[in-house]
Amino acid sequence: MSLLTAIRNSETAAVAILTSRCLRYRFRHSSCARCLNECPARALRLEKGKIVLDAKRCGSCLACAAVCPTEALLVNDSSLAGDQDSSTDAEPLSFCCEKGIRTGKEIVLPCLGALSEEHLAAYAVRRPLGVQLRIAPCATCRTSFIPELLHRRLAALAGKLDGGISARIRLVDQKDENGHAGPAAGRRLFFRAFWALSRHTATETAATLRDEGRQEKAHAHKHRPSRFSLLRRTMAVTPDPAMVQALARLFFTLRANEACTFCGRCAGMCPTGAIKNSREEDQKRLHFLWPNCSGCGLCLEACGPRALTLVAGRRPETLATDQEILLQADRA
């Protein structure tokens, strides 16, 4: 595939379905329907216990990937992985699709629908002047529902974080761009934007070709979603304790009661490696690695004696270590 061809075809953002990560596949009694409920085009369906994508109906908005708790729906793009933006702390961090490039400093995504609540919160905390989401191109795109979707996610985020972090995220529409950004047709801006698009396309095309044919094999059986890794890294480098505690509300707390038999079923079912069952010396223990937990709830559904409860948020005193012992007992 040539660079020119890749650019011409850039409107179609592929999403890969990694079946082994899907909760429906891992446990046939799972009730998870997050991706099905989130997809505006109704391009996903459940078929014989597996999530199936109808490519003809799919609008490549990536909304499904943003809500999947295990990254079973994986975006074929590395732009959300971390800190590859070229802007500085003296300006807001801007996200856009390839149609929204204005300065060449934006983080270019296949579609802004890929931005999860965790992504938005992490980047808003990392950048002093906040985050801008350029939604102006959405008006002429087949994913014209993206602004409404982002408004909904920001409202949900405000409810979880009391509005402080979500207030640092701004949607930039056509009116804002016309009134403040100025025309993007100057030669300097044009070549900068073209270079940003070319670099982005070349990077992602190379990665796709390199991984083609071995994608499923390359992913581990236990996988922490990258957005939770980003969130945890952000907490580690954030000096403001209030911000750290706010981000901690996006993680989860698991509890176990005496009904637990230490059978290890929850640990085996957990797709992210958040639960571990150990038997050492005279003790048997149930461990919880909270940064790995995406709140999918599969452990609750798989637990026969109903010994587990899962709640949103982490208390400040539990943030010092990533692992805790939920329950322990003497070996019989």
pLDDT score of 264 more than 60:
yes
Instruction: Determine, yes or no, domain membership for 20.
Output: yes
Tally of domains in the chain: 2
- CB-hemisphere CA count at 13 Å for 157? 24
8 A C-beta contact, residue 98 and residue 143? no
Looking at the domain assignment, is residue 228 inside a domain?
no
pTM recorded for the entire structure? 0.84
Residue 52 CA: distances (Å) to CA of 69, 70, 137: 17, 16, 29
Q: Which of 78, 85, 65 is nearest to 21 (CA)?
A: 65
d(C-alpha 6, C-alpha 203), whole Å: 11
CB 135 within 8 A of CB 145: no
pLDDT at 12: 45
For residue range 223-239, what is the model confidence (pLDDT) as tens digits? 999 999 999 999 999 99
**264 and 309 both lie in a single domain:** yes
Full domain range(s) for residue 285:
251-330
Selection from 66, 76, 42 nearest residue 56 by Cα: 42
Q: What is the CATH number of the domain that holds 265?
A: 3.30.70.3270
pLDDT band at 194 (very low <50, low <70, confident <90, very high): low
Confidence grade of residue 211 (pLDDT, cut at 50, 70, 90):
very low
Look-up of token digits 């100057």: 186
What pLDDT does 102 receive?
Answer: 85
**Residue 61: pLDDT band with limits 50, 70, 90:** very high
Q: Is residue 193 part of a domain?
A: yes
Question: Are 38 and 146 found together in one domain?
Answer: yes
Residue 254's beta-bridge partner residues?
310
Q: Name the DSSP class of 79.
A: T
**Mean pLDDT, the chain, integer:** 83
The predicted structure's pLDDT at residue 238: 93
Asked if pLDDT for residue 182 goes beyond 60, the answer is no
Do 212 and 271 fall into the same domain? no
Q: What is the mean pLDDT of residues 264-272?
A: 95
- More reliable by pLDDT, 219 or 119: 119
Q: Say how far residue 116 (Cα) sits from the centre of its chain.
A: 5
Same domain, 191 and 83: yes
Question: How sure is the predictor about 206, in pLDDT bands with cuts at 50, 70 and 90?
Answer: very low
Query: Is 276 a residue whose pLDDT tops 90?
Result: yes
